[in-house]
Structure 1
Amino acid sequence: MSSSEDDMPLARANGRMNGTSASGTTNAQPQNGSSEPAISIRFGAVQDKDVEMEDAATGASKRKSRASIDQQKSYAEPESSEDDDRPLSKRRRTSVKHEDPETDDDLPKAGETAIGDESDSDVPIGKKLTAQKKKIQQKATKDANGTTKPAPAKETKSAASTKKANGVKKEPADAKPAPKKVKAESVTPKKGKSQVKADSEEMDADEDDEYHWWEDPTKGDGTKKWTTLEHNGVVFPPPYEPLPENVKMKYNGTPVTLHPDAEEVASFFGTMLNSEHNVKNPVFQKNFFMDFKDILKKTGGAKDPQGNKVEIKEFDKCDFRPIFEYLQAQRDEKKALPAAEKKRLKAEKEAAEAPYQYCIWDGRKQKVGNFRVEPPSLFRGRGEHPKTGRVKTRVQPEQITINIGKEATVPPPPPGHNWKEVKHDQEGTWLAMWQENINGNYKYVMLAANSDVKGQSDYKKFEKARELKKYIDKIRKDYNKALKHDMMVERQKATAVYLIDQLALRAGNEKGEDEAETVGCCSLKYENVSLKPPNKVIFDFLGKDSIRFYDEVEVDPQVFKNLKIFKKAPKKEGDEIFDRLTTSALNKHLQNYMPGLTAKVFRTYNASFTMSNLLKEMKATGTIPEKVKAYNDANRKVAILCNHKRTVTASHANQMEKMSERIKGLRYQKWRLKQQMLALEPNLKKKKGASFFALDEDLTPEWLQEHQAFLIEEQTAKIKKKFEKDNEKRVSDGEKPMKDSELTERLEVVKEMEKKFKQENKTGKVEPEGRAPTVEKLEANIEKLDQRIATMSVQAQDKEDNKEVALGTSKINYIDPRLSVVFSKKFNVPIEKFFSKALREKFEWAIKSVDEDWEF
């Protein structure tokens, strides 16, 4: 829109658009003001490019996109999120959340062939569930409108009543406050470890006295997070061990000698040669080689065997394979260690790290999440990160700030070093922090996921989503009305809230020039959105952690019209769609409805509310695996609503084939048992019929021979493995190992097995096996096999259904864990089927705080 048009209301500025009245309405707009839920049709073919837009008024000046704003660095407590449970080395400051470990590099761009065609199923699951997605969203909206009353919104002056001469209300930028300057404490090494360890041992005596903080939800609502805090600091990675003299990197075929610092960087690349996804990435290679040459320059370069200087100029002439082969041999040697030796080394490591694993927080023993400082390595990033391959330098104590109680003993830094600073920040929940060199992000040592502090953070997150139920009807009515607002800023705001609510888009943050080009709703660019009349929108952009987001959806006609307006010339590629909106301004607007409401709360609310409704309708019956599948089916629908999609893994077809083979193997065992029944009572063939004893058609003679060979090979491997383990145990107990003749004797069983199969194939009869076999025993064994076949079939179907959907993201981060507990208790399914040990510890508050009648 031209600068001249900015001075008039939106409806007048765009009144000349085809099919649009002066008021900005269209005939296609619903009369009641409510919008249809957006429907995903992402698996449909994308043929057309963007809709052609009418030219702007003559002489219109080019609208500039909003410039990126550098984020201020501070020691402020990091915002609680699902990233809290990830290792420090995996956390990033990207604006959007990683959906799945797999990248979507094979997805088509808008205008190319639709995704899902290469799937080994006839119809991709997203297409199958499109109608269900619409139904679920409609019901969720209906239920929300019918069961909750809209809470009064905070009164604010509308844009219409306060509009300036140009008709556009300016939104103030929400700048972060500058960090407070704190003087560094003098650090004197004291007996910190022994003191905390002694206190920790005293706390062990009180473990039976459980603390149910969730029964006192007001606990921790203030800004002061702790009164007393003691801990032993962090564990540093071991120093670099130089390679042996005979192991050298080669340049142009010549072994070269490097300074240990440069050799360490070379080993970073050398150890990764089996990770072709990284080492064959041109960006990874370029960034690594740039940093490698810098370290070579600082350390005196490389020398050949005669001591002559070798100038390393070309990456393609570098050969890191000698380093890889040496390090791989070391890894293999470590894997091959006897079980007793592995156990001893593990015990030594655990003993050395024990003092760091717990802290004393307000007098209570709490587990620390990640107390290890990440080792130096090559930065990988996710997706198409522009800094992949850069060298992550070794973190020194002088870079680390310790957060601890004033009266506590400060943990001593390594000899010859000092901490950067010692703070007593009672408003922070971190124990130590430092700034990494790749993106300038701050890394924090936090409490573990199962600690009181983390549990309270999760509890508050889901309680906030529950509270949104009271306000969602009012919010939806307001944004549907504001979709036709006269002011551009208000119309952009309403459209963004619609997309965040209906399509589960993330809000998106502004990025610095040296950060990955990831976007969210508020930072969508011209090229990320394509329009197909009458109301289809194609989104194609790099989302959180540079993972590609691709979706084709049907939206409300007014939303389609608005996006068309927001893309109107002179806008072009690189310009932002929502050029009058920032994430901070959007969140400030949402807080007018509900204290603490931000865009990301909508994802949690929509996921949990949908799951809650699905569980109410569910009548899970049958076996435990069948009930688990029913839960996963509901979880999958939520994941699809949240766009937690993934590409089909390269190994999926192979895994499904293996499961199919296992089921066929069980059916073969059933047939053998039935043949044994006939051998005991031949007249059963007349009683039960010949078909009962017939071999399934797909179990062909060729398959039988292959399967029997597999069984023989499998049995041989088991016997050999058992023999090796028994020998290892004997050696560790100080006894002599068994002779090879013992193994030969044990393998006689395999020879008998092979002989038996040949006889059965020749005669078609199977002799009864086991001690005192009877028809009754064999029938009981057949029933057990039927149950195993049924269970495995359900699991195989579940795996096939989940091949395009990432269930973990929604289950862990967006669905209230109390809903999973309700399902577990209501349908008598062990909670272990849904939550791993780590998740059971993380969500202990949910498991212990609700019964089967609890509602979201």
Structure 2
Amino acid sequence: MSTTAVEARKSSSGNVSKKPKSVANKAKTAASTKRGTKPASQANTKKNNAVKEEPDKTRPAKKRKVLKADPAVDNATEVKQEELVVDGGLKADDEDIHRWWEEDPNDHSVKWETLEHNGVIFPPPYEKLPDDVKLKYDGKKVDLPVEAEEVAGFYGAMINTDHAKNPVFQANFFGDFKEVLSTSGRALISGTSKFIEIESFDKCDFSDIFAYYEDQRNAKKALPPAVKKRLKQEKDEAEEKYKTCYLDGRKQPVGNFRVEPPGLFRGRGQHPKTGKLKARVQPEQVTLNIGKDVKIPEPPAGHNWSEVRHDNTVSWLAMWKENINGNTKYVFLSQSSSLKGMSDFKKFEKARELKNHVERIRNDYRKELTDEKMQVRQRATAMYLIDRLALRAGGEKGDDEADTVGCCSLRYEHVDLQPPNLVTFDFLGKDSIRYFQQVEVDEQVFTNLQIFKKEPKGPGDDIFDRLDPSILNKHLQSYMPGLTAKVFRTYNASHTMQKQLDQIPNVGTVAEKVVAFNAANREVAILCNHQRTVAKSHEQSVAKIEERVEELVWKKYRLKKMILQLDPEKPKVLGKSYFADTKAFNKTKLKAIHKRVVEREQEKVEKKFARDNEKIKADREAGEDVKLLTKDDLKERLKVVTNLKEELQKELDTGEFEIKSSQTCEKLEAQVAKLDDRILSTRLSLKDKQDNSTVALSTSKINYIDPRLSVMFSKKFEVPLEKLFTKTLREKFAWAIHSADKDWQF
């Protein structure tokens, strides 16, 4: 574990500045007064005030109702029904924005008054394989019932993946495949009426199926850009009505409105059910939740919904149970919707509230580390580990689930003790991510862990045998309503990020500041054990960046050589050190760079030629009378590559550089300075990529670090927000973007 992360934990009891008053709240109050209305804080005292909706001419008049006041809505504000937060980019002074984050954050049992949506999209039906594509068994082609052929195709399409090579995956798949065969019909030797029993996985040959699906994938990739664009447009048009719903008259984006297609379950880590069949979900398994007085979406032809509910105390639109683990799947509003935003806002506000109680909680569990009651002592020790190491609480797992644990479910073999106070934790956490850390703990905590591991306990026995998450969370809620072990994790992650950001000097380029921000984020990810495996393409992408740096340095070398060619006396003016790097390139290195540069230029020309021809084809299909580009046209375009190759070869042979009449030493020096900035930025990008190759920064940034910290950093350090948040995150955290300023503190 990094020293910084440990120090951040040890110092997590530091003072936190008070939350500043919301500037937006003041502006809003002023705006309300100017319009001749009461501020929201006064207007909300009347429970049943009505909000006037601006007429929506695109929808039937009978659905344009006067809504009851939503507790999270500013009653003094008119709301545009069609308004969607896009890119977090609503104007800060727009009085029509539904600024729910400035209202009372308390939860309410009623989530909506009216809800209108179009249901879910089901995956397309299975298309049978061509007659010449068969599973082979013991060297013979076999005919399978359609249901069994589909399952065989799931495995056949992925035989080149690591999943398909896993013995557990293979065994689970083959067991379910045989079960489908037994219920749908038996296999026949192809072209005969003779049955064949498929009993051995090792005798199955899926190569023909794999080749077919591989050809399909390649054909799809090879489609002309115009065709891909048309297909995407058709898909988008077909899905358009499912992408949004109307919640209390406001248009809101829907999350994943597609029912997951059938396939083989992958699972994470060493999941015991990996390879099992994810059955196709039928409409008869789907329950819809929708408003009472709106049209019920039609199910697919010949089907019915399982149930239609009108429950306004929940926020899901549809649900069904999947067959692997029996989990319920839900369709919710998207991450950028107001309901999701409210959920995030409340989560982080709950974590901020903890700062008012955390010292009292810590003082109490320190005292209870020596309590005579074993359950109390175990509870205090668990709270110490959850607080200091950001461990999850953990819970019971069934025999058919991955063996993942948290603090309360740690077993004897997961904890190794080395006197005087070094503890090694080694276990599989959430999503089967290995948690392996060596940490120094307080002397009493070490003593307690020794007691909890004392004989007759051994491997397989629980360390906290008198504790479970429900007991722990019940105790925590005696300090603060809604406090759970997870709130500690969010609090410590955001608190650590605040401390890290406070240490960053507000100097340097934007690229340097982004690297510093990511380094702070990395400390939080390490604290939360957010790991990832190094991507297979990591080395290749690093090599490409290194080549890019080398080529930028080479461009700078050429510019400096040109300066010397124009004015040999320049070293006396600029200093010899300025030209020191002109000796860094020998002929061998230059040849390699020249080769790459020429090849890349040729590839660029050829790709542009292909794109232009595809555009011409699309124009011709639209009826325009235009001719396709020919090989002669390509040859003409490639002359620029030939000229470049000749120019570089001449430089190599003579050491002389072709200088345009418009180029002066001053202009070349300015170009060198720009290249220096680009080289620095690219090298920082490379360092950032290497430093974060095994750490998942996004998990902590999305789920555990208060997004207002990122917004504060952006505004205080003058770093464009798009450098920190993707477009999706800017939409998701629109509330944070509008509510935090450069002085905001967690």
Q: TM-score, normalised by structure 2?
A: 0.88
CA contact (8 A) 2:84 2:251 kept: no
Counterpart mapping for 1:554-703 below 5 A: 554-688=440-574, 692-696=578-582, 698-703=584-589
CA contact (8 A) 1:199 1:360 kept: no
Shift of 1:496: 0.6
Residue 410 of structure 1 aligns with an amino acid whose one-letter code is I
Alignment coverage as a number of residue pairs? 679
Tell me the equivalent position of 1:777. Answer: 667
1:547 to 414, 430, 433: 433
Tell me the equivalent position of 1:212. Answer: 99
Structure 1 CA distance for aligned equivalents of residues 544 and 483 of structure 2: 48
Residue 612 of structure 1 aligns with an amino acid whose one-letter code is Q
Relative distance call for 1:519 and 1:817 in structure 2 (3 A) is same
Relative distance call for 1:141 and 1:674 in structure 2 (3 A) is same
1:754 to 626, 645, 649: 645
Relative distance call for 1:779 and 1:506 in structure 2 (3 A) is same
Tell me the equivalent position of 2:359. Answer: 473
Structure 2 CA distance for aligned equivalents of residues 451 and 488 of structure 1: 46
Relative distance call for 1:534 and 1:660 in structure 2 (3 A) is same
1:452 partnered with 2:312: no
Shift of 1:687: 4.1
Counterpart mapping for 1:39-438 below 5 A: 126=1, 129-130=2-3, 132-143=4-15, 203-204=81-82, 209-218=96-105, 221-275=107-161, 277-307=162-192, 308-438=194-324
1:812 to 690, 696, 702: 702
Relative distance call for 1:408 and 1:523 in structure 2 (3 A) is same
2:718 to 828, 832, 838: 828
Structure 2 CA distance for aligned equivalents of residues 259 and 463 of structure 1: 56
Q: Secondary structure at the match of 1:733?
A: helix
Structure 2 CA distance for aligned equivalents of residues 366 and 690 of structure 1: 63
Tell me the equivalent position of 1:766. Answer: 657
Structure 1 CA distance for aligned equivalents of residues 384 and 537 of structure 2: 38
Show CA shifts across 1:757-792 (max 9, x none). Answer: 2221111221214x6222222222111111101111
Relative distance call for 1:288 and 1:662 in structure 2 (3 A) is same
Tell me the equivalent position of 2:383. Answer: 497
Structure 1 CA distance for aligned equivalents of residues 669 and 470 of structure 2: 68
Relative distance call for 1:584 and 1:673 in structure 2 (3 A) is same
Structure 1 CA distance for aligned equivalents of residues 219 and 386 of structure 2: 52
Residue 724 of structure 2 aligns with an amino acid whose one-letter code is F
Structure 2 CA distance for aligned equivalents of residues 817 and 361 of structure 1: 25
Structure 1 CA distance for aligned equivalents of residues 378 and 538 of structure 2: 42
Structure 2 CA distance for aligned equivalents of residues 536 and 480 of structure 1: 19
Higher relative contact order (CA 8 A, sep 6+): 1
CA contact (8 A) 2:511 2:684 kept: yes
Tell me the equivalent position of 1:15. Answer: none
Shift of 1:198: 9.4
Shift of 1:549: 1.3
Q: Secondary structure at the match of 1:141?
A: coil
Tell me the equivalent position of 2:688. Answer: 798
Q: Secondary structure at the match of 1:820?
A: helix
Relative distance call for 1:689 and 1:485 in structure 2 (3 A) is closer
Structure 2 CA distance for aligned equivalents of residues 596 and 688 of structure 1: 66
CA contact (8 A) 1:505 1:521 kept: yes
Show CA shifts across 1:347-403 (max 9, x none). Answer: 111111111111111111111101100000000000000000000000001101111
Residue 464 of structure 1 aligns with an amino acid whose one-letter code is K
Q: Secondary structure at the match of 1:142?
A: coil
Q: Secondary structure at the match of 2:15?
A: helix
Structure 1 CA distance for aligned equivalents of residues 656 and 644 of structure 2: 15
Residue 756 of structure 1 aligns with an amino acid whose one-letter code is E
Tell me the equivalent position of 2:74. Answer: none
Show CA shifts across 1:91-139 (max 9, x none). Answer: xxxxxxxxxxxxxxxxxxxxxxxxxxxxxxxxxxx4xx32x23432333
CA contact (8 A) 2:137 2:203 kept: yes
1:743 partnered with 2:634: yes
Shift of 1:195: 6.9
Shift of 1:649: 4.3
Structure 2 CA distance for aligned equivalents of residues 574 and 348 of structure 1: 56
Relative distance call for 1:199 and 1:442 in structure 2 (3 A) is farther
Residue 211 of structure 1 aligns with an amino acid whose one-letter code is H
Structure 1 CA distance for aligned equivalents of residues 557 and 84 of structure 2: 58
Structure 1 CA distance for aligned equivalents of residues 693 and 216 of structure 2: 36
Q: TM-score, normalised by structure 1?
A: 0.77
Structure 1 CA distance for aligned equivalents of residues 333 and 577 of structure 2: 63
Relative distance call for 1:628 and 1:343 in structure 2 (3 A) is same
Structure 1 CA distance for aligned equivalents of residues 723 and 60 of structure 2: 40
Unaligned runs of 5+ in 2: 20-57, 66-79, 86-93, 621-625
Show CA shifts across 1:409-462 (max 9, x none). Answer: 211111111111111111111000000000000000000001010000000000
Show CA shifts across 1:42-75 (max 9, x none). Answer: xxxxxxxxxxxxxxxxxxxxxxxxxxxxxxxxxx
Structure 2 CA distance for aligned equivalents of residues 359 and 196 of structure 1: 17
CA contact (8 A) 1:197 1:355 kept: no
Relative distance call for 1:553 and 1:832 in structure 2 (3 A) is same
Structure 2 CA distance for aligned equivalents of residues 838 and 602 of structure 1: 27
Shift of 1:206: 8.9
Residue 421 of structure 2 aligns with an amino acid whose one-letter code is N
CA contact (8 A) 2:561 2:582 kept: no
**Residues 327-336 or 587-596, more deviating:** 327-336
Structure 2 CA distance for aligned equivalents of residues 204 and 147 of structure 1: 37
Shift of 1:690: 5.6
Structure 2 CA distance for aligned equivalents of residues 803 and 456 of structure 1: 33
Q: Secondary structure at the match of 1:344?
A: helix
Unaligned runs of 5+ in 1: 1-125, 149-192
Q: Secondary structure at the match of 1:143?
A: coil
Shift of 1:693: 3.8
Tell me the equivalent position of 2:89. Answer: none
Residue 773 of structure 1 aligns with an amino acid whose one-letter code is Q
Show CA shifts across 1:181-224 (max 9, x none). Answer: xxxxxxxxxxxx99799989x93379873211111134x62111
Residue 176 of structure 2 aligns with an amino acid whose one-letter code is D
CA contact (8 A) 1:538 1:552 kept: yes
Relative distance call for 1:551 and 1:205 in structure 2 (3 A) is closer
Structure 1 CA distance for aligned equivalents of residues 5 and 327 of structure 2: 38
CA contact (8 A) 2:433 2:531 kept: no
Structure 1 CA distance for aligned equivalents of residues 575 and 102 of structure 2: 63
CA contact (8 A) 2:10 2:388 kept: no
Relative distance call for 1:738 and 1:602 in structure 2 (3 A) is same
Shift of 1:688: 4.0
Show CA shifts across 1:565-604 (max 9, x none). Answer: 1111111221111111111111000000000000000011
Q: Secondary structure at the match of 1:552?
A: strand
Relative distance call for 1:194 and 1:213 in structure 2 (3 A) is closer
Structure 2 CA distance for aligned equivalents of residues 206 and 520 of structure 1: 40
CA contact (8 A) 2:141 2:190 kept: yes
